[in-house]
Chain A
């Protein structure tokens, strides 16, 4: 998880600095929101990698048996 956060933060800072230099304020704000959401998703997954998978959740939801 630590490496993931480091890569996320590194890419985020690099891209936001480039957008700031090009005065792309709207793009930078939406980009930052996306990165925060992806970061939260990463933390959600890495806190318990053994949790029920996305496929299993959906398949159970629609009532398909194995």
Chain B
């Protein structure tokens, strides 16, 4: 029934979000939590729960009366054609930049770990071909694929956490004192700068069913992603300590390397890398789909699958042009990326809700 209407459920969309946010959180959060908070960094995700709950309720309120609309249509309806289209143009450019950024980070992960002498072109082309065909197949097929792989991701992630637990040292995680509270609030920018991607799902809101359950599903989501983020930080900071984690490029990968089962089976970091490829595929595909959805609203088009081609080609070039080395990418993420994410994914929907309420449209 849902498939025949070419729609997915809010639950499937949220699974897309959970899979997509995993890649940046795994990359960013251990380093930031270690640098900013120190050994108590594993408690920091709790401070990003409240802004996320606010975001969930903002989205619930926005779609209370517009159950069949997407966020793009609402921007035009509420702000007017000129400002609405300007906002959508900015969003589409930002999504294309993020797509290039995640593509570049995907290649960097392999180049700085197991395949240092490979040309990045190989990684870009293989990923973009997979993403091109996935998104061209439509949101329903893509969401079902991610839903299946997501359960695999959860099983592998939890298994790796349990295998890594014997390597966690209490001295690396404790004590947690009241003096850590202020530094923990500074990590909100890092974590909420990724978790705010939740609002982006509603750009294809016209393809989502049961939007009346946004708040319930959103609250379940925050519980899940908070627990998994804490698990991630426990096994990174807990194994090597915050001073080491703050300095190494791939902290989660390095912590997985320390796993040794029965002192016989080790080198299972390849399993973590395979998992990571899947979540990178999800986040790049999601931003590709978001970009073409926004382009559809921007130009009032009937069909947008052909626009996947120019966006994919743009991402290929931009991945090269974005930065000359990893330091520039990290500076871009830390000083520009996270802040603009919060503006696009949280501040703008809040302004939309406020203006919509004043104009009595929402």
Contact = CB atoms under 8 A, between A and B. Distances in A.
Given A27-B303, A42-B317, A56 B310 contact: no
Contact of B336 (A18, A49, A59): A59
A24 B317 contact: no
A3 to B, nearest CB: 10
A64 interface: yes
Main secondary structure of the interface of A (DSSP, over half): helix
Given A27-B306, A55-B322, A11 B335 contact: no
A38 B314 contact: yes
B313 A38 contact: yes
Interface string A42-54: 1001000100011
B151 to A, nearest CB: 34
Interface in A19-59: 19, 22, 24, 26-27, 30-31, 34-35, 37-38, 41-42, 45, 49, 53-56, 58-59
A49 B320 contact: yes
A53 B324 contact: yes
Nearest to B333: A55
A31 B306 contact: yes
Contact of A41 (B303, B314, B336): B314
Interface residues on B, range: 20 to 34
Given A30-B299, A49-B320, A58 B332 contact: yes
Given A38-B314, A54-B322, A64 B309 contact: no
A22 B306 CA distance: 12
Most buried by B among A22, A41, A62: A41
Nearest to B310: A34
B72 to A, nearest CB: 16
B299 A12 contact: no
B306 A54 contact: no
Given A30-B299, A54-B322, A19 B306 contact: yes
Most buried by A among B307, B310, B313, B335: B310
Contacts of B304: 27
A19 B335 CA distance: 41
B331 interface: yes
B321 A30 contact: no
A1 to B, nearest CB: 10
Nearest to A27: B301
16 contacts: A24-B302, A24-B303, A26-B301, A27-B304, A41-B317, A41-B318, A45-B317, A45-B320, A49-B320, A53-B322, A53-B323, A54-B322, A55-B323, A59-B328, A64-B335, A66-B327
Q: Which 6 A-B pairs have the closest CB atoms?
A: A55-B332, A34-B310, A55-B328, A55-B323, A15-B306, A11-B309
